[in-house]
Structure 1
Amino acid sequence: MTLKFWVTAPFFLGDSPRPWGALLSDMLDLAQAAEDLGFEGISMPENHFQNYVTNPSSLNFCAVVSQRTTRLRLQPGVIVLPYYHPLLIASEISMLEALAPGRVEIGIARGGSRPQFDRIGVPFDEVRERYEESLDIIQRAWTEDDLSYDGRFYSFPETTIVPKPASIPDLWVAAQSVEGVRKVAEDGLNLLTMPNYGNFEPHGDFPMLLQAFNEAAEASDKPRGGVMVLRHVWLGQTEKDSQKYFDNLVYHWNHYSAVVKNSGRTDTAEGRLTRRVDDVGRQFIKGGIITPEKNSPSRDDLFENFDDPIMTTPDRMIERVKGYEQLGVTRLTVHQAWGQPIGDVIENMAFMAREVLPAFAEEPASVPA
């Protein structure tokens, strides 16, 4: 299967003085550009109570985009299942599928950041088990009538969600650690992944992660799921041109680094691919604003030193992505909006659509003579 290209609508606000409505408008423009330029789909991340990802409802945003596009595939996610009652999420996803028939896929996660759980009253040590129950309920609610449940966290009498999805959306499970990707593979689900510590990921980590996924899939009795990987991408006519927004990317990364600070060792591949552990009671958000870290990675030999970000020329981008394809990646989500003017983002998306996407086009069917 030929690798497909997606984009993401990251909703990064940072310290911008612009109103949030302007950012919303930018993300809608990005979604329309993805449709017009031939990207297969768009993922819409969701997060709460901070300025790193300022989209509190990926399902609502997908619903709006569904009415402005006709072929673009839509992936709300990741939806952190323990935040919500599974019957309500199952119903809302069904409605989205009715708005965009056959175009909906769902990104899900158990949740890896403690502050949100502390604020909505969900004990962090219950998250994994809540996620497992929720996923079971959602999958059954899509197909069963009069479903009743008596679990540790969720119990309800006979219930039928209305409407049911006309077609069952594919599920993509977010995992960034070796432990996490093995579980996804064992369950026969699709993997949604990115560097465990945001970006500036050295070469070698991703093949190690994929090896763990592939080995677990082979050992299971279920088929191997697809693999969608996110990469921070900016293209230029020259290497220097491609680094025009390097400082913006570092600033964006330092917000993510604040979220995962002190959550594990990062000086070895094994440490970077270990499940992160959140600190208890650490304060790094005030007034909804994250205090960013102060990492200052070098821009020298960026392509040679790091697998992510990919800030380079189109020919080297193709080279890198062909390598992903050989590893078994089925989709690449490109992250190109970390604070730049939206016009420049869309122009770079168009540059990629012209110079990179054709190298991954489906082979035309042969016509008998």
Structure 2
Amino acid sequence: MAMKFWVTTPFFYPDMSRPWSEVLDSMIRIVEAAEEFGFEGVTINENQFQNYVCNPSAMMFAAVATQRTQRLRIVPGVVVLPAYNPLLVASEMSLLDHLAPGRVGIGVARGGSRFQLDRLGVKPENQRAMYEEGLEIIRRLFTEEDVSHEGRFYSFPPTTLVPKPATQPHPEIWVASQSTAGVRKVAQQGLNLITAPNYGNFEPHGDLEELIGAYNDEIATTGNPRGEVMVLRHTWVGRTEEEALEYFDDVVNEYNYYMALVKGPGTVDTKEARLAPRDVGESRDYVHRGKMTPEQHSFSKDNLFEKYADPVLTTPDRMIERFKAYEALGVDHLACLIAVGMPTEAIINNMKMMAEEVLPAFAD
């Protein structure tokens, strides 16, 4: 099977003088355009209490997306499991699966930012264990009757989902992981992987290859069936290199918001550090009245394609060249992050250009 293309709904909201309803409308238009232009699916970002990702409920927006589309695959994610009771996550996913049978999955993670979990009372030292326990419960609830559980964080008497998922054995489960140790764990669990190396954008060449190699090696070692692999890339296509770089400053700005959320001051200069498991860091004072103070990293746009594996801001031919190499690595799905401050009309037009100039090269 050829690699398939998705888009993301990032709910990026740097200009809080705009009504938030404009952001919501833009994300709905991206969903509708993805359906119209032949993208395979859409992933829905979620985070709370700040303006980097300002969507408080990926699953609620996914319900909206199911009603605006007929064939598009829809993955709310990532849902940070320590923020939720797993019984409610499983129940809401069952509802989603009945709204669009066979078209929805869920992306899950332990969470990469302390800001959200501090406000929900989740202790950093408990985060990973809560995630693992919650995921185990969700997987059991999808397939078993009268599940009971006595655990460290969750305990409940015999409980059955009503309704059970429409899709058998259950909706797809995608796990977001950005470290070599993390992707090996996903492979051991036999689950689908969503990945991009730690610290996101302006990623040196070679990091993604090492991550995918670790996942593939672990599959070979365990003998598990290989799950599907989705990779996130920042993309913008142009007829010329200059045109493709029109919104370069917006891409840099989004990176600085992301780094404020997950890293704070400083840089990550070694591959070992970029691909190591990431902790959630110290509590920091960088959000005021919901508005985040971004970091101040700067980058040159010169020779961008040669210097970085991500972002991929280039012409159709070079974009195809880059993504054919990913396909050869075993990447099944490419999720395009294309809404990082650009006008909505420009985003829709760029999706259309990708559909016409890039996606045909990956047709089955």
Normalised-by-shorter TM-score class: over 0.9
Matches within 5 A, 1:196-235: 196-235=198-237
Matches within 5 A, 1:1-369: 1-167=1-167, 168-262=170-264, 266-362=268-364
Question: Match of 1:80, as an amino acid?
Answer: V
- Indicate if the aligned counterparts of 1:43 and 1:76 stay in contact, CA closer than 8 A: yes
Query: Match of 1:74, SS?
Result: strand
Question: Match of 2:257, as an amino acid?
Answer: H
- Indicate if the aligned counterparts of 2:115 and 2:261 stay in contact, CA closer than 8 A: no
2:196 and 2:286 mapped to 1: Cα distance? 23
Percent of paired sites with the same residue: 57
- Indicate if the aligned counterparts of 1:264 and 1:274 stay in contact, CA closer than 8 A: no
Could you give the per-residue CA deviations for residues 155-204 of structure 1, whole angstroms, max 9, x where no partner exists?
11111110000111111100011111111111111110123112000111
1:260 and 1:110 mapped to 2: Cα distance? 13
Deviation at residue 263 of structure 1 after TM alignment = 8.4
Deviation at residue 16 of structure 1 after TM alignment = 4.2
Q: Rate the CA distance shift 1:263–1:219 in 2: closer, same or farther, 3 A.
A: farther
- Indicate if the aligned counterparts of 1:264 and 1:277 stay in contact, CA closer than 8 A: no
1:343 and 1:68 mapped to 2: Cα distance? 19
Deviation at residue 29 of structure 1 after TM alignment = 0.6
1:303 and 1:319 mapped to 2: Cα distance? 11
2:147 and 2:159 mapped to 1: Cα distance? 5
Query: Match of 1:234, SS?
Result: strand
Deviation at residue 129 of structure 1 after TM alignment = 1.1
Q: Match of 1:367?
A: none
Count of aligned pairs: 362
User: Structure 1 residues 151-160 or 278-287, which shifts more?
Assistant: 278-287
Question: Match of 2:357, as an amino acid?
Answer: E
Question: Match of 2:185, as an amino acid?
Answer: K
Unaligned runs of 5+ in 2: none
- Indicate if the aligned counterparts of 1:264 and 1:271 stay in contact, CA closer than 8 A: no
1:112 and 1:329 mapped to 2: Cα distance? 23
2:64 and 2:53 mapped to 1: Cα distance? 18
Could you give the per-residue CA deviations for residues 333-355 of structure 1, whole angstroms, max 9, x where no partner exists?
00110011100000000000000
- Indicate if the aligned counterparts of 1:263 and 1:276 stay in contact, CA closer than 8 A: no
Query: Match of 1:321, SS?
Result: helix
Deviation at residue 215 of structure 1 after TM alignment = 1.2
TM-score by length of structure 2 reads 0.97
Q: Rate the CA distance shift 1:321–1:204 in 2: closer, same or farther, 3 A.
A: same
Q: Rate the CA distance shift 1:262–1:61 in 2: closer, same or farther, 3 A.
A: closer
Query: Match of 1:334, SS?
Result: strand
Query: Match of 1:67, SS?
Result: helix
- Indicate if the aligned counterparts of 1:191 and 1:228 stay in contact, CA closer than 8 A: yes
- Indicate if the aligned counterparts of 1:90 and 1:142 stay in contact, CA closer than 8 A: yes
Deviation at residue 264 of structure 1 after TM alignment = 8.2
Deviation at residue 221 of structure 1 after TM alignment = 3.4
- Indicate if the aligned counterparts of 1:42 and 1:73 stay in contact, CA closer than 8 A: yes
Query: Match of 2:157, SS?
Result: strand
Deviation at residue 134 of structure 1 after TM alignment = 0.8
Q: Rate the CA distance shift 1:71–1:292 in 2: closer, same or farther, 3 A.
A: same
Question: Match of 1:326, as an amino acid?
Answer: A
Deviation at residue 270 of structure 1 after TM alignment = 1.2
Query: Match of 1:142, SS?
Result: helix
Unaligned runs of 5+ in 1: 363-369
Query: Match of 2:156, SS?
Result: strand
Question: Match of 1:68, as an amino acid?
Answer: R
TM-score by length of structure 1 reads 0.96
1:175 and 1:142 mapped to 2: Cα distance? 22
1:264 and 1:124 mapped to 2: Cα distance? 21
